[in-house]
């Protein structure tokens, strides 16, 4: 089966611009998570979708971040306007849900650099 796919793999934008990250989870996985790692720090939770609904968005840093999951399939994470501190690696993960045995599968991440 195909894994979790993230696009783009790298993005360099100027402060004030808008960037949209995309995540395609494993087909059939209801749970989709976004995480972020700022340089040298821990990977931090941003939000959790169950199908198209936001189960937990308590990790979203501020209202410049907007996540959507159209029809419970792929998800986008938009940063508008981007700030320097938004630089980091954004990971997406998916899981089947309903059982803790299935675990998470992570994508390769999107490295965002805001200059």
Partner 1 sequence: AQKVTQAQTEISVVEKEDVTLDCVYETRDTTYYLFWYKQPPSGELVFLIRRNSFDEQNEISGRYSWNFQKSTSSFNFTITASQVVDSAVYFCALSEPDRGSTLGRLYFGRGTQLTVWP
Number of residues that bind partner 1 (CB under 8 A): 31
> Does 1 engage in binding with partner 1 (CB under 8 A)?
no
> Does 104 engage in binding with partner 1 (CB under 8 A)?
yes
Closest by Cα among 40, 101, 46 to 75: 46
Span near partner 1 by CB under 8 A; candidates 13-21, 67-75, 77-85, 90-98: 90-98
DSSP state at residue 101: T
∠ CA 94-100-101, rounded to 5°: 90
| Min separation Cβ 6 and partner 1, Å | 9
Q: Interface residues for partner 1 in 24-83 (CB under 8 A)?
A: 31, 33, 35, 40-45, 48, 55-56, 59
> Does 106 engage in binding with partner 1 (CB under 8 A)?
yes
Q: Following DSSP, what letter does each residue of 15-48 receive, concatenated?
A: TT--EEEEEE--TT--EEEEEEE-TTS-EEEEEE
Span near partner 1 by CB under 8 A; candidates 17-25, 62-70, 71-79, 91-99: 91-99
Task: Please tell me the distance from the alpha carbon of residue 2 to that of residue 92, in angstroms, as a whole number.
Answer: 14
């Amino acid at each position: 089966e195909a894994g979790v796919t993230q696009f783009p793999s790298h993005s360099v934008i100027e402060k004030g611009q808008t960037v949209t990250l995309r995540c395609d989870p494993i087909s059939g996985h209801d749970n989709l998570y976004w995480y972020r790692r700022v340089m040298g720090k821990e990977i931090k939770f941003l939000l959790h979708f169950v199908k198209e609904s936001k189960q937990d968005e308590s990790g979203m840093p501020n209202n410049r971040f907007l996540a959507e999951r159209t029809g419970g399939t792929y998800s986008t994470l938009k940063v508008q306007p981007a700030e320097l501190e938004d630089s980091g690696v954004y990971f997406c993960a998916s899981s089947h849900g309903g059982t803790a045995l299935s675990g998470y599968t992570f994508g390769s991440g999107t490295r965002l650099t805001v200059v």
